[in-house]
Structures are given as structure tokens and as C-alpha cells.
Structure 1
Amino acid sequence: MEQDKVSMDKPSKVITCRAAIAWTANAPLSIEEVQVDPPKPGEVRIKIISSGLCGTDKHILEGKNRVPLPAILGHEGAGIVESIGEGVASVKPGDKVLMFPLPECRKCRFCLHSKGNFCLKEKILSPTGLMLDGTSRFTCRGRKIYNLYGTSTFTEYTVVHEIVVGKIDAGAPMDKVCIMSCAVPTGFGAVFNTARVTPGSTCVVFGLGGIGSAVVMGCKASGASRIIGVDINEEKFPGARAFGVTDCLNPRNLKKPVQEVVMEMTGGGVDFAFEAVGLTDTMVAALESCHVSYGVCVIIGVAPSDSQLSFDPVLILPGRTLKGGVIGEYKTRSSIPKLVTEYMQKKFNIDPLITHQLPFEKINKAFELFRNGHCIRCVLLF
């Protein structure tokens, strides 16, 4: 009964606020005044408190990953429910929530499967920039603006479907937990769910950004005896060692391909390899770093649009396994709020992943830090 009262009392007005618009690729974001429509049935309007910058956002701005533009980017968001549409039952105004780039509808065959998490309502592989009804909730300068993956967190207010929203603990630190929407579960899940790293194993992690660093943390927690970190930016090496990396390699300083060096260092290859860069060359290098019989390679990075992965099939024949997964194979709404609670219980610490926090209006400065490799994860505060 109380839920019905909340629904009937929900605000129905358009909200005017600030958002960072990507009008085109290869250009700075433009902070504009936008109009955000009220939520329709099954939708939630959220006041954004913080948002992380992800490598996927950077790749979109660089034109490597194509999505409909102009758009409001961002998919690592923490906020407070401002209003709800008819039929929304899992959250109410005032709730603290995370928004996920991968939904959990709890009705499709993959959501209902015990292992599946790649919901059929996803908008990652074929982004339309529109809500499920084929329309937009954002307007700027009289033009409709696309969303990103059904989320869009580079804005003071956003409208999303209930199936991408997870209620979190009321005491959650909102200036930090936004990275639990993507970076942390993607890295942790690659280790715990996809690869299933074993104690005493050897691992190599290609890419030591936010997601790669979360992978390192997961490998260490799993008891890996050796963790090799690979990155072309040596500024990341001290932090990587603090997370658990035992050996650091810069491919640009090696006299032979990095996978050959890894093979020599480990006496024939690693047990587990992780690619968190998003380039086909590093994906192949990660696979070639695995030993035969039971080496496992997990692809996490999103390659540029229209990329094709090509490698000698003999790499697979002797028992190597190549796997992939999105958001760590976690069922987002069901699992990630539990991770937030565990973080609050100090079962693990994500704070060192956040090296910079900037006010929202400095979003272009944040991307500059990101592009230049000066940060692991930068969080925007609204």
C-alpha cells in the first residue's frame, strides 16, 4: 500500500540540470543545460552523486568504440532515487542505488539460468542509445540526446530502467561505491567466477588500470603465488606492486614479444592470463602467455568496433581455454549490492583504486588525467 502511495506521489515534471554531452568523437565533452523527462512505467529517475570514468568511455570519445551520438556517456554511477514510474517495486524515492551497464531483468533465459548474467535486455553489444520503448529521456538545445548502455551517469539526473538499478546499504560511501558498478565486479568476477584462480597459481594481467588493478587484487586474494603485471605506463608499477603484482613488464622495453618473456619467466607459461586493455594484439599475447593443458585466458577489455580476433588454432588444441565475461559474470542487481555490503564490512578495500576525485565540471580534466595514464580510477563528484 505504501509503495502505491509513493508511485502516485511521484513528481511528474521535467528536470533541468547540467550534463556532459559528447556531441561527436575526438572532441571535449560540453557541459550543457539539459532537460530530463520524468520516468515512464518501469523506470527510475536518479540524482547522480558520483560517477567513475571507465576505459570504455575513453574509447568512445576517441572514436574506437562506436555508439549513437550526441550522447550522455558514463556507466559507473551511484545516486539517490528521485522518483519512480508506475510499477517500480524494488526501489523507492530516497534509496541509495547503483546503476549497471548490464541489466538483470530476472525474466529472460540467461537471467533465469544459474550461471547466466548476460541479460537479453542488454545494450552493450548493440547500443541503441534509447530506452526500451525506443525513445529518449534527454533533450538539449531542442535535440533529443542518446543515453549510454541504458545508464548515462555524466549528468546530475538520469532516467534508467528498474532492471539496471540495485539498492545498496544506506550507509554506503557514495563518493566511492560508484566504481562497484563496473570496475570492481568486472575485475573480481573475472578472477573468482570466470577464471576461478587457484591458490599457488601463476597469473599475468595485461593492463593495470582500474579493472586490471581489481583483477590483481582478486588474484592476490585467491592465493596466486606470482602475479605478472604488463603495461606500457611504468607510472602504474608502484601501485600495482602494492596491489599484489610481483613482476612488472613494459613491452616497449623488451627485446622480444612480451608473451615470450612471460613464457621464459614462468617455465612454459602462466596458469591464468587476463586481458584488460581492449586490443586484439594484447588478447593474443595473453592467450600465448598461457601454458598448455590447462592454461586459462580471460578477455575483459572491449576491442575497437569491427575488430577481428585472429590466432593460430593450434594455441587452443593442446588444452588452453579462452573465455570472456561481462561485469565479472555477476548477476548485477542480485549480486553487486552484496559486494557493496562486504566492502563496508571491510572484507576487501577498493579505496586505493580511486586515485583522483574531481568535481563534475572538471570532467575534461579527468579524461586528460586518464588518457595520460596519471590515474587508475577517477571519480567525479556532483
Structure 2
Amino acid sequence: MSTPQVITCKAAVAWGAGEALVIEEVEVSPPQPMEIRIKVVSTSLCRSDLSAWESHAIFPRIFGHEASGAHLEKATLVVLGLERMGLMHSDQKTRFSVKGEPVYDYCAVSSFSEYTVVHSGCAVKLSPLAPLEKICLLSCGVAASLGAAWNVADVSTGSTVVIFGLGTVGLSVAQASKLRGASRIIGVDNNPQKCENAFGVTEVIKCITDGRADFSFECGWGLTVTLGVPKVKLEMSARYGLLLMGRTLKGSLFWGWKPKSDLPSLVKKYLNKEIQIDDYITHNLPFDDINKAFNLMKEGKYDIILLGESREELNERLETWRRALETHGFRLSRSKSEYMECKFNKRRRVSNSEVKIGDHIIPQVTRFKYLGSVIQDDGEIDGDVNHRIQAGWMKWRKASGVLCDAKVPIKLKGKFYRTAVRPAILYGTECWAVKSQHENKVGVAEMRMLRWMCGKTRQDKIRNEAIRERVGVAPIVEKMVENRLRWFGHVERRPVDSVVRRVDQMERRQTIRGRGRPKKTIREVIKKDLEINGLDRSMVLDRTLWRKLIHVADPT
């Protein structure tokens, strides 16, 4: 038998907390004793991956821990293993690297890679009939919930179950409790639409917080089972007298299952249609769209956007969607649906009809927030500009303990700002038809942050350029130009028949516009950026050259 060698493959590498994952060519070390190398076929995104990506301090790292794949051409399910500080438990080393730099493991699985190395005890042989793209959810979330309800809590017939949080884990607990005959299954979540799926939730209580509580109290005599991973505070305290009087708190890490023998039985239950998994899957995305998956999970909801030329056409499309969803056991949320009527010109046909779902009248709004961007009915971006500035300040305040600490070197503060704060402001700006007033507003907000970091005010009469040199931060307006031109290059290099190119080449329908100056378009902004920087459209074909020409370096 030949000795395993180092192989190279694609992996999604997180280089910093909250930073977009980058598809890199990584080197995967050969497996050590009691380890095997797995070809990952399918992997799912768990909330634990998102929380670790946002808050952990160990980077670069390859996340992912719910996976199915193949070992020696046999279907394999991978379950989470033991690792500490991103290193494998056996030899305290990582199995990944990029150009010689180590890339740390996550849960000893790191499934956001085409190949990974795991302990042999974490690999479960599966039936060849199992659909790998679905049963990967049994690696953690769904299996954890079923085990918590059946093995740890031992839910009984006629019991009442309360579930806090109706994600995959919470809804799986609901399914398990329903199969055990629970009479009442109460879900608590800040998004009531989640319980509209048929997983067994009998009633829902809308959470009045942002989804988290600083304190919670269980005042009955029941059993509390804790699932999931806390984002920040790992410690907890309890009064001894409560435990002495019969209260019970149980943790559930491996869910009472013996993975090698029990997980194949869950797969068999799925194949026999005794448990359901398919409905937990909301999106199927290619590996290259992994950042889109993170964005969808951060949004916490799965929206449908319908477009129509008139209110009557929109009503027809809404009715089609309503019927299609209700046929498959889903329901359009009446309370969360809303519509916006675009007012890009003042000469538009006015309709007296209402937009409805069935008999429910949908409220009209003047702006939408979608995937972190604010869309206005008048086509302007003022709301989005203000929203991005507020997002930047929110990130800045979270890190103010570092950014305002006089003991922290000023260059380190600048690096922290470039890594954590500035990306929050720049998110989505590549598509802005930006005006001078917007650039001024964003630039003023950035300078306030930088001066505050330096412990200076405008009364100190220090020029902006000097402040920027001190912290090592380029003007954010110039970074906005870089973002726009980078996106422009990306669009131009796409095939002519791709969707993004076809939309870009659409000609606006000839209509009679109202009085006043025409609205500024992204095409005008790009044309001006190219002229100012002495660039030509043909240069975008060479990606490396284009990135070099548009790059705005931060002062060193």
C-alpha cells in the first residue's frame, strides 16, 4: 500500500473574525495513526460555525463540522471530534496549510474543504442508499436535537415541551417531541414565521428581545436541557437550593448517542420516512457561494421578493406563490409581508386596488431592508448611507475598549479599524450611485472615529492627512472607488449571457419623465471613476493588472 502524501484542494478559509471567507488552494497533510482522509461531498452550515466565525480569536481557520463524504469510495458521515485551540487532539498540530502557513481546524472536522482529515472514530459508515446532500445534517444539529429529546430528556406521552429558539435544533426537538406524543409543544422565537412549518409546534410565543436574554428563569419542577454553544459568556451560576429542591439541568453534547452504532439507525429511520430532514434545508448552494450562505443565516429569515408592473400583477403573483407554498405545507407570513411601490418618476399610473394575501391587506412601506442594504421607493441611497454609517459605529463601539485605550499602539488601532470597522461601512457600496453629499457624510463619520482613536478633536487643529498617516488608514472615499471598480471588473469579465451582464446591459424603457434633474446612475459614477483614474474598460480583462491598478494602499 502506498504511503499517503500531501494533497492540494480548494477550501474556504476564514482569515479573520467576521471577514468574508476566501476560496484558497490549501495543502492537506496525510492522516496520522487512527486518522483517515475524507473527500467531502456535502456540508451544511450550522449556527455554531457562524458564532465561531464572528467571535473566535483563532485564525486563519477552516470552519464546518456537519459533513458527509466518501472514504475508500464508501459513503461516510462525519461527526464532530475533539480539538483544542484549532489543533488535532492526537499531536497538537493542524492538518491544513496555505503556502506553508498553518490553517487551524474546527471541531476536528473542517468540512468547508474538498478534503479533510478526521479521527477514525468520527467517521460513520452509511448505507449506499443515503442521500449525502441531506443526511449531512445528522452530523450535529438534527441528531443532537433528537437525542436531547429522546435520550437526555426522555420526553413522554402527554407532556408539555417549551423550546427556546426555532432554528434547525429547536424544530428538530419539536419533531422528536411530537413523535414521542407530547401534547403541547410551545416555541419561543423572535421570528414566529419559523413555526409555520409542520414540525409539530402547537403554539408560539414571540420573543420580545432581539433573540437573546440576559437572564431566564424556570420556575416549575421540570427538566431543563441545554443545547448549542454560547457566543461569549461560557460561565453560568445557579443557586444550590434550587438543585436541592429538585430542579434538574442537563447538558447534551453527544446527545446520548453512540455515533458508530446509533447514527446509522437514524439514517435508516430517515430512509423509512420515520423522521424528516428535507424540510430543514432552505437553500442548496455551490461551494463558491459559501459567503452567501453566511449572509442568509445572519439575516435569520428567508425572504421572497416578487416584482410586478402594477398592483394587479403583483396580486396575481402573490396568489400563485400562496397556493404553491400551502400545497407543500408552508404558509406566507401575513404579519411580515409588505410591499413597496417604486416612484422613480412622477408620471406613473395610480391604482386604487389593494395588495393582498387572501383577505389580508399588505401594508405599504417606503423602504426595504434586504441582506443588509436599504432599498428606497424613490431610488435614492440616503437611507442605505445612513444605515452603513450606523453599522460602522456599532462595530466601533463594540471595540471601543481597544480603540480608545491609550496603552494600545496607534498603528494596531488602525489595523483593527481596517479589519473590523471599515468593512462594515463599505458593505454594499460597490453598487451605490454615490453623490458628493454621500461621500462627505461617510468621510466625516470616518474622521470622527479616527480622531477619537487618537484622542484628538478638531480643536487640536491637526490636519486629516496627519491623522490618517498616524493610524495608517487611507480615505474611505477612495476605498469606495476601489470597491466600485473591483465590482465593475468582476461584472465585465463575466460571460455576455450571464444574468449580471444582461441586467447591466438592459436599456431603460423610454418613458416621459417628470421635471427636474435626472437621477444619477451607477454607469455615470463608473464612467467618472474611469476618467479620473486614467483607466480603460479593456483593462479589466487582465484581473491581476486590474486589481493592481485600482488598489488604494493604506499608509504604512
The TM-score bracket by the shorter chain reads 0.7 to 0.9
> SS at 1:50's partner residue?
strand
Equivalences for 1:281-292 in 2 at 5 Å? 281=214, 285=216, 288-289=217-218, 291-292=220-221
**How much has 1:50 moved relative to structure 2?**
0.6
Deviations 1:163-194 (A, max 9, x none): 11111111110110100100111000110011
Residues 158 and 360 of structure 1, relative CA distance in 2, 3 Å threshold: same
> SS at 1:97's partner residue?
strand
AA in 2 matched with 1:98: L
For the pair 1:233 / 2:195, whether they are aligned, the reply is: no
For the pair 1:209 / 2:167, whether they are aligned, the reply is: yes
For the pair 1:192 / 2:150, whether they are aligned, the reply is: yes
Q: Bigger relative contact order, structure 1 or 2, given CA contacts below 8 A and separation 6+?
A: 1
**How much has 1:329 moved relative to structure 2?**
2.0
Of 20, 29, 35, the residue aligned with 2:27 is: 35
Equivalences for 1:161-310 in 2 at 5 Å? 161-239=119-197, 242-252=198-208, 281=214, 285=216, 288-289=217-218, 291-292=220-221, 295-310=222-237
Between the aligned partners of 1:248 and 1:314, the Cα distance in structure 2 is 31
AA in 1 matched with 2:132: M
Of 12, 33, 45, the residue aligned with 2:4 is: 12
Between the aligned partners of 1:228 and 1:290, the Cα distance in structure 2 is 16
Between the aligned partners of 2:154 and 2:295, the Cα distance in structure 1 is 35
Between the aligned partners of 1:235 and 1:280, the Cα distance in structure 2 is 20
AA in 2 matched with 1:298: V
Between the aligned partners of 1:129 and 1:191, the Cα distance in structure 2 is 32
Between the aligned partners of 1:29 and 1:328, the Cα distance in structure 2 is 30
AA in 1 matched with 2:23: I
Provide TM-score, normalisation by structure 2. Answer: 0.52
AA in 1 matched with 2:267: V
Deviations 1:326-368 (A, max 9, x none): 1312122221122112211222111111121111111110011
Aligned to 1:96: 75
Runs of 4+ in 1 over 6 A off after TM superposition: none
> SS at 1:51's partner residue?
strand
The answer on whether the counterparts of 1:68 and 1:129 sit within 8 Å (CA) in structure 2 is no
Aligned to 2:61: 71
Aligned to 1:262: none
For the pair 1:49 / 2:41, whether they are aligned, the reply is: yes
Higher Cα radius of gyration = 2
Between the aligned partners of 1:315 and 1:194, the Cα distance in structure 2 is 20
Deviations 1:88-111 (A, max 9, x none): xxxxx1111111114xxxxxxxxx
Deviations 1:214-265 (A, max 9, x none): 11101111100001101112331312xx1011111112189xxxxxxxxxxx
Aligned to 2:53: 61
Of 346, 349, 374, the residue aligned with 2:301 is: 374
Aligned to 2:258: 331
Q: Which has the higher strand share?
A: 1
Q: CA RMSD in A?
A: 2.2
Of 129, 138, 156, the residue aligned with 2:96 is: 138
Q: Which has the higher helix share?
A: 2
The answer on whether the counterparts of 1:290 and 1:297 sit within 8 Å (CA) in structure 2 is no
Of residues 44-53 and 325-334 in structure 1, the stretch that sits farther from structure 2 once superposed is: 325-334
Residues 67 and 342 of structure 1, relative CA distance in 2, 3 Å threshold: farther
Residues 12 and 308 of structure 1, relative CA distance in 2, 3 Å threshold: closer
Between the aligned partners of 2:259 and 2:57, the Cα distance in structure 1 is 22
**How much has 1:312 moved relative to structure 2?**
4.3
Gaps of 5+ in 2: 303-556
Between the aligned partners of 2:207 and 2:238, the Cα distance in structure 1 is 20
Between the aligned partners of 1:309 and 1:41, the Cα distance in structure 2 is 38
Provide TM-score, normalisation by structure 1. Answer: 0.75
Between the aligned partners of 1:235 and 1:372, the Cα distance in structure 2 is 14
Aligned residues with identical type, % of pairs: 41
Deviations 1:33-67 (A, max 9, x none): 1111222222111110111111110101110xx36
The answer on whether the counterparts of 1:232 and 1:251 sit within 8 Å (CA) in structure 2 is yes
